[in-house]
Amino acid sequence: MEDYVRIFDTTLRDGEQCPGAAMSEDEKVEIAQHLARMKVDIIEAGFPVSSPVQFKAVERIAREIEGPVICGLARALRPDLEAARDALKPAKQKRIHTFIASSPIHMKHKLGKSPAEVLEMARLAVKMARDFVTDVEFSPEDATRSEWEFLRELVEAVIEEGATTINIPDTVGYTTPQEYMDLFRFLKKEVKGADKVIFSAHCHNDLGLAVANSLATVLAGGRQIECTINGIGERAGNTAMEEVVMALKTRKDAFGVETKIDSTLITRGSHLVKTITGMVVQPNKAIVGANAFAHESGIHQDGVIKNRQTYEIMTPESVGLKSNRMVLGRHSGRAGFKDRVIRMGFDPKPEEIDNAYNRFLEIADKKKEVFDEDIAALFQAEISRSQVDEKYRLISFEQNTGSNQTPSSKISLQIKGEVKEGEAHGDGPVDSIFKAIGQVTGLSPLLSRLVISPVTEGTDAMAEASVTLEDGERRVVGKGDSTDIIEACAKAYINALNRL
């Protein structure tokens, strides 16, 4: 279909390779469920051979998620391909995505292989993958730094062996839109059998060109774009799915194509990934940043009031936002709160509504205004908490700190129904409260990452904290929220301990 671009989401595979973006099995399934609701065409669920945890997550997504094609990544090696085959068995629609490096620098220094050896490995890998599944994608890694004639030969060979999608990755974010477009046109023209396959783009954002490069391939006949929610990924990240989708939708006059994505679920998906991974979305981020539909300039405000199209090329509603912020406060009732949560795209359970509403009342007593972002944050946190057996629960805490004293914290926790208290000093208020929690629980896993970010603006803004803990080979991410930064950190740390 020449007017249709497939969206291949790799948030769960390439996105998770972003430093600190750890996801539990349940969290991966939760994201996959939302991707299915968004009508993503292909979900790259993971790299099955890389670890038993990855294998299990891919297998569970293959079993539980319906709608999209479920894809597993595999190097051009038999163990990788067999692991992908086994993990994908439950899926109704499945794809194996196999790859091997094709650039001179990668073949020489990473693989230690000659071009002829790489060509043969690629052939055998695709042939084996086709024995397992009918849908096979092949990627020549670091394609944009590869020799074009070798790429032509390589792509032609894997098409002969049955590859159905050819992905041309800009693995290190090196190319430019014109150069990438020219490469796609060259391959589509010169490769025998090019008319039988879908050509795909997979771009990294090292030079800030991932979205521009991906869109350029559409003009050159590419009909699949590989991307992640919020653009998360290794180094500077990947192509941002929300930006590609809205660019194709808003500028259909320029690109002449469509996607199947339900764009009204974009904001919900962005917040879900941000909350689960702890990767903060910059306020001026296109489409999903806090300021993406904000107008502060008097001239802009005047124009928008008269006609929204003066300064808005797309509507907030098109990405799942409301054009005007509905402010809730301490006098808002449970029914109004529930209605707001549902209209924001959540599907709440009765107990989640009850717990989140009680948290909302606590926040409303502390803040002048409670915005949609606050509600989304506290409700997502409540969902996260409901998925974990709460062995440890915060009852209360006290702190002493100042410029001329060592910070100290007293904390009271409920542990399996019994209240226990502890006290500790530390190098700062956050350190002291973490040590106090450790003193009470007797646990001291490695704290590898702490991220604190405001949900909205102002000194009374609610804060979200994300804590990554490591215990041996296990790594978990805990979340917490409060208008008090220290309390948010304590809740996040306790949530992580519960996950451990």
Mean pLDDT of 361-382: 75
Strand partners, 36: none
CA neighbours closer than 13 Å in the CB half-sphere of residue 393: 13
Q: pLDDT of 125-155, one tens digit each?
A: 999 999 999 999 999 999 999 999 999 999 9
Q: How many CB atoms lie within 10 A of CB 367?
A: 18
**Which pLDDT band holds residue 325 (cuts at 50, 70, 90)?**
very low
Q: Indicate whether 296 pLDDT > 50.
A: no
Query: CA–CA separation, 335 vs 301, rounded Å?
Result: 32
Query: CA–CA separation, 115 vs 101, rounded Å?
Result: 10
Mean pLDDT of 338-366: 80
Return phi, psi of residue 233, to 5°. Answer: 160, -175
CA neighbours closer than 13 Å in the CB half-sphere of residue 423: 7
Average pLDDT, the chain: 89
Give the position of tokens 């924001």. Answer: 344
Return phi, psi of residue 93, to 5°. Answer: -125, 125
Q: Which of 158-167, 405-414, 441-450 has the highest mean pLDDT?
A: 158-167
Q: pLDDT of 72-94, one tens digit each?
A: 999 999 999 999 999 999 999 99
Mean pLDDT of 470-492: 88
pLDDT at 481: 86
pLDDT at 324: 42
pLDDT at 354: 86
Mean pLDDT lowest among 100-114, 275-289, 296-310, 462-476: 296-310
| Nearest in space to 169 (alpha carbons), one of 203, 197, 145, 136 | 203
Q: Which domains does the chain have, with CATH numbers?
A: 6-277 (3.20.20.70), 298-385 (no CATH), 400-498 (3.30.160.270)
Q: Which two tokens stand for residue 413?
A: 């926790």
pLDDT at 293: 72
Q: Indicate whether 1 pLDDT > 80.
A: no
**Torsion sign (Cα): 31, 239, 464, 433:** positive
pLDDT at 289: 84
Q: Indicate whether 257 pLDDT > 90.
A: yes
Q: Summarize the annotated binding site as residue ranges.
A: 14, 202, 204, 238
Mean pLDDT of 106-132: 97
Where is pLDDT greater, at 178 or 464? 178
Q: Summarize the annotated binding site for Mn(2+) as residue ranges.
A: 14, 202, 204, 238
Mean pLDDT of 251-269: 95
Query: CA–CA separation, 381 vs 311, rounded Å?
Result: 34
pLDDT at 275: 85
Q: Indicate whether 316 pLDDT > 90.
A: no
Q: pLDDT of 15-63, one tens digit each?
A: 888 877 778 899 999 999 999 999 999 999 999 999 998 999 999 999 9
Q: pLDDT of 169-227, one tens digit each?
A: 999 999 999 999 999 999 999 999 999 999 999 999 999 999 999 999 999 999 999 99
Q: Which two tokens stand for residue 129?
A: 């993958």
Mean pLDDT of 6-16: 95
Q: pLDDT of 225-249, one tens digit each?
A: 999 999 999 999 999 999 999 999 9
